[in-house]
Structure 1
Amino acid sequence: MLVAMTEQQQLFHLTSKYPLDELQKLKKQQSFFCPQCKEQLLLKAGQIKIPHFAHQKNSECDSLFSEGESAAHLLGKQQLFHHFSNLQLRTVLEPYLPQLQQRPDLLLTFKNRQYAVEFQCSPIAKPSFQQRTSGYLHANITPIWILHTPDKFKGTGILKVSINHTNTQFIQQYKKQKFLITYDVKSKTFYYISNLIHLHKLQYFAVVKKLPLSQQRFPLLVPEKISKSQFHLLLKNYRKYREYYIHPRLLLSKKGVNDQFFRSIYELRLTMTDLPIFLGIPVCNTHAFNQFCIEWQVGFFHFMDYHALTPKTMNERAIPYFFKWSKLELTDERKAAVEHYLAILRHLNIEQLGENITEEQLFNVLYDELVAFGC
């Protein structure tokens, strides 16, 4: 913790303005107490971890959740507190909210609205994340979750990144633009991971940009939509990944003719080395399938061919039957992904697998669907 109550019943904030020698003297002269449980606290001011308060051993205070914090968490809270305070925002460090029994890292007030900033440096279980988020919203407080930047995100440009299930909780959305905000305490830099396009399992292509803390504003800046030139490069990398995925998929399959993907390829009279460019394309919500999109998109064409349908004659109400036929679990997100794929096929006027679609036609439709109108 970075906040304690003095004997004079005043809040004391452990910010970076206090030199270590001054804190060592203060430790001997002053007593500090927990603002929540009123128990006496220890002021820890050593050479390794940044100064912080801690409860006495065996304390049962609810605020113990904030102890055992990493140095990055303590330092990040200090840096963000100073920055937002310097922006002339009313910023409170570690306030206890008794009505919620929660203690956000920062509580900001902007245009008469409150924002709870949580700088997350450790994994948080989905139930806890949802409970804390819903608690803030119920109290009319807008939660802002900022993830501590993993080393794998410290780059710029179009990168292949891995986002685990815990970190997907922190993905935000603004005007249909989905992105992840992270902050690195060492470099005092925000990293924005945006324009996420799902590949396989936890893998995504993303545009990664960095923003120095000194240039951050409030409300937090949101990333710009990807340019056409960047999207060209992204699609080029995506096509390479498609080929990279197919080759080992062909070599390593142990199911043979029982492999649904290969059976669909065979029934559709396709070859693995010369697939139409509109098979295996990014669409909204394709992350819901976990597998690379070419698997279910080939299966979708197999379903239509088996039932003598085309993208034009395929009725959206038949989509649940595709899932049953393919033995895939039906979810709202998966259904939405198939609907979006069907809309793209219709936009391209595709009636059969042999349609001659150019790279430029595909690019223009995908850019409009995924970027210009948001996804």
Structure 2
Amino acid sequence: MFTAITSEGSIICLYEMSQQAIHQLPRREYYCPECEQRLTLKRGSVKVAHFAHDVSCTNSAASQRETQNHLTGKSLIYSALRTHFHDVHLEFYIPTIVQRADVCLQSPIPMIFEFQCSKISAEQLQLRTAGYLSLGYQCRWILHADFLPKNLTDLSYVKLSKFLQAGIFTHMNGSKSITFLCVKTATLHQLILYEFYTGDYAVCERIELQGNSPLSYISQPKVIQPKPQKVLYLLKKNYEKMRREAFLFSFSKDKRFHFLITKWRKTEATFPTYIGLPCMLPHSLGPDIYWQFAYVNFLVTCREGTADDFLFSLSDHTLHTTRNLQLIETYSSFLKANHLPHRPFSKSSSKTCYISQWYSFQIVAKRSKD
């Protein structure tokens, strides 16, 4: 960390000082603004000058050692914002929620910038974000470039981990993005999420921005949806792999899915292709491959049942929401339009790809909702 409190009670920030001034600092006692425990001044030749907690520090959150990447990254964000804004603070401690933000922009938009180099749980990211939001701050996570998904093209269909999903930032114009910072090249890589599907997959585009420009951190991506042909190409290209992963995961983890597989004597090879289609409509029904299989089973066994009846048949009645009902009705219309499911269901081995039809049904449903 760059800031500390002296024994006289004054605040000192190493980042604001020249190298000569830092080397002339006396060997006095310094204290952490957060936990008020002793700090050691580090001014060697390997790392940039900074303060470090003693090994005996009892505050585990505050005493975590900072890497060179983290020190350099947050100073890069701070210096970029400071060229355009006046009310910017480095290592801004907020005692009411006991959190220290890497960089805080107070005006014109109250915003927190957190540079995350190490892998932590998604719950930790969400908890810290919730703390800042409770005080009226927007929280934007800047992730290290090592977390950037591999083999990205101009438009990619990417599986996002829970960690990356927790780092999604929603802009004021409704667009969503994840931002990564490469410290070595001072380059920002921004993943713009165009279609965010359940099941942890997203259609996204990568753009590069200058890490030393303040506009790179506060500008909003233009909401220009890619051409449907490109999206469909990505969906078709990745559909079988995505469905195979979902099938194997659900078969091993979900008892209800396992029961239906056994009931209908299905295998990965004979599983109907109209089950497991990716959804762009938001819902809380769980994996697409499970709820679609459960609904088809409901249609076969209860031919006169409605989408509303299906939601009531689920053991978890909290799933009976307007969004879930809209999705079930959209899927029901899609099945009827394509004369599905095939009868008898137990012998179905359709290889027809229904991605295009399903994508069109969702687009129409989404427009009618908006």
Q: Given the two structures, how large is their TM-score scaled by the length of structure 1?
A: 0.72
Aligned residue in 2 for 1:183: 181
CA distance in 1, matches of 2:189, 2:33: 34
CA distance in 1, matches of 2:301, 2:131: 50
Query: Secondary structure in 2 aligned to 1:147?
Result: strand
Aligned residue in 2 for 1:118: 114
Which of 187, 208, 216 is the equivalent residue of 1:211? 208
Deviation at 1:40, TM superposition (A): 5.3
Which of 337, 344, 348 is the equivalent residue of 1:350? 337
Aligned residue in 1 for 2:145: 149
Which of 291, 295, 298 is the equivalent residue of 1:296? 291
Aligned residue in 2 for 1:43: 41
CA distance in 2, matches of 1:259, 1:44: 61
Aligned residue in 2 for 1:74: 71
Q: Which runs of 5+ in 1 are unaligned?
A: none
Instruction: Please say if 1:316 is aligned against 2:308.
Output: yes
Aligned residue in 2 for 1:133: 129
Q: Which runs of 5+ in 2 are unaligned?
A: 343-351
CA distance in 1, matches of 2:317, 2:40: 54
Return closer, same or farther for 1:264/1:48 CA change in 2, 3 Å cut-off.
Answer: farther
Return closer, same or farther for 1:240/1:220 CA change in 2, 3 Å cut-off.
Answer: same
Deviation at 1:187, TM superposition (A): 3.2
Deviation at 1:367, TM superposition (A): 4.2
Deviation at 1:45, TM superposition (A): 2.4
Deviation at 1:231, TM superposition (A): 1.2
Which residue identity does 1:197 align to in structure 2? Y
Pairs aligned (count)? 350
Cα deviation, 1:128-164, whole Å, max 9, x if unaligned, reads 5454333323333333233333345255334454533
CA distance in 1, matches of 2:15, 2:243: 53
Aligned residue in 2 for 1:196: 196
CA distance in 1, matches of 2:140, 2:164: 14
Return closer, same or farther for 1:236/1:55 CA change in 2, 3 Å cut-off.
Answer: same
Cα deviation, 1:21-63, whole Å, max 9, x if unaligned, reads x377335577654345666532212343332111344345x59
CA distance in 1, matches of 2:259, 2:41: 63
Deviation at 1:103, TM superposition (A): 1.5
Query: Secondary structure in 1 aligned to 2:289?
Result: helix
Which residue identity does 2:145 align to in structure 1? T
CA contact (8 A) 1:107 1:114 kept: yes
Query: Secondary structure in 1 aligned to 2:188?
Result: strand
Aligned residue in 1 for 2:327: 340
Query: Secondary structure in 2 aligned to 1:217?
Result: helix
CA distance in 2, matches of 1:207, 1:16: 38
Q: Percent identity over the alignment?
A: 20
Deviation at 1:351, TM superposition (A): 7.0
Return closer, same or farther for 1:204/1:64 CA change in 2, 3 Å cut-off.
Answer: closer
CA distance in 2, matches of 1:288, 1:66: 41
Return closer, same or farther for 1:317/1:260 CA change in 2, 3 Å cut-off.
Answer: closer
CA distance in 2, matches of 1:188, 1:26: 30
Return closer, same or farther for 1:360/1:68 CA change in 2, 3 Å cut-off.
Answer: closer
CA distance in 2, matches of 1:347, 1:14: 62
Aligned residue in 1 for 2:278: 282
Aligned residue in 2 for 1:108: 105
Aligned residue in 2 for 1:3: 3
Aligned residue in 2 for 1:14: 14
Instruction: Tell which deviates more after alignment, 137-146 or 74-83.
Output: 137-146
Instruction: Please say if 1:94 is aligned against 2:76.
Output: no
CA contact (8 A) 1:264 1:299 kept: no
Instruction: Tell which deviates more after alignment, 66-75 or 175-184.
Output: 175-184
Q: Given the two structures, how large is their TM-score scaled by the length of structure 2?
A: 0.73
